[in-house]
Amino acid sequence: MSNRLTQIQTFLKDSPQDPFLHFALAKEYEKSGDTEKALTQYLYLTEKHENYVGTYYHLGKLYEVKQDFPTAFNTYKKGMEIAKAQGEQHAFNELAGAKLNLGDEEDFG
């Protein structure tokens, strides 16, 4: 287990509701190749911290790696809705670009 992973887990014990720490943990799992644990963390964020807009791009990319393209498409779409509601234009544009690279509504509708 990496030192950074251990450090994030320690911080989470003190702040178990901190969405950034869950996001950081997901990224560390991803970096180490443990996509299932990364997926679990991202899904936790979508359930408990739905408005944490950074989740959706990375979760969508993880679904692409797993070749679950319809779920990736819908993840980007959901993230775009949240980014738009929050006025997060940069996040919206990243999500829109990722979604566009997969196809359009007719491909996944």
Residue 86 and residue 65 share a domain: yes
> Tens of pLDDT along 17-53?
999 999 999 999 999 999 999 999 999 999 999 999 9
Residue 79 and residue 69 share a domain: yes
Considering only CA atoms, give the Rg of the chain.
Answer: 14
> Tens of pLDDT along 70-106?
999 999 999 999 999 999 999 999 999 999 999 988 8
CA angle 34, 37, 43 (to 5 degrees): 135
Q: Could you list the residue range(s) of the whole structural domain that residue 84 is in?
A: 51-109
| CATH number of the domain where residue 109 is located | 1.25.40.10
Residue 72 and residue 22 share a domain: no
pTM score of the predicted model: 0.93
